[in-house]
Structure 1
Amino acid sequence: MKVKLFSVLAEKIGPSIDLDLPKTFKSDVVLDQIKQLHPDYAKVLDQSLVAVNEEYATDEEIALDSVDEIAIIPPVSGG
């Protein structure tokens, strides 16, 4: 499943990353897989949100076959 990345993650890792997600998963699985592939960005990922189909994911199970898009939204800074 292609996962879109934004902000610092997109700058450092790229605009997207391919993950091998199970048929059902929770949003933390997405973040954990990216952390395994890119451990240097664990701190940013720990503060990031997961959006599924343009809605922030909660702690509920997500069925992969119902997913059109996953995006990781890192914290935003600035003034």
Structure 2
Amino acid sequence: MFSILAEEIGPTTEVDLKSEFYPSDVKQAIEDAYPKYKEVLDQSLVAIDEEYADDKQFSLNDVAEIAIIPPVSGG
């Protein structure tokens, strides 16, 4: 995780996923564990193995890393 999520939850966390999952399932599992971050998660992107993921189905057996990337602003 990055940005506010990493600061508040930590850079890594574990959630339960089915063996076949969608990126939206990842965000939902984190939201279930940390409901206070629903708004941030709703605006966040999911990256799987360092590539932004569209909402296609993935297999846990084929995935090495899942990242949640919240919106950030800079200046």
TM-score by length of 2: 0.96
Quick one: distance in 1 between partners of 2:42 and 2:62? 25
Give me the CA root mean square deviation. 0.6
Match of 1:37 among 27, 33, 36: 33
The percent of aligned pairs where both chains have the same amino acid is 55
> Is 1:49 the equivalent of 2:31?
no
Quick one: distance in 2 between partners of 1:16 and 1:38? 13
Describe how 1:1-79 pairs up with structure 2 within 5 A.
5-79=1-75
TM-score by length of 1: 0.92
Q: How many residues align?
A: 75
Query: Which ranges of structure 2 fall in alignment gaps of 5 or more residues?
Result: none
**Structure 1 stretches of 4+ moved >2 Å:** none
Offset at 1:35? 0.5
Q: Secondary structure at the match of 2:13?
A: strand
Q: Which has the higher strand share?
A: 1
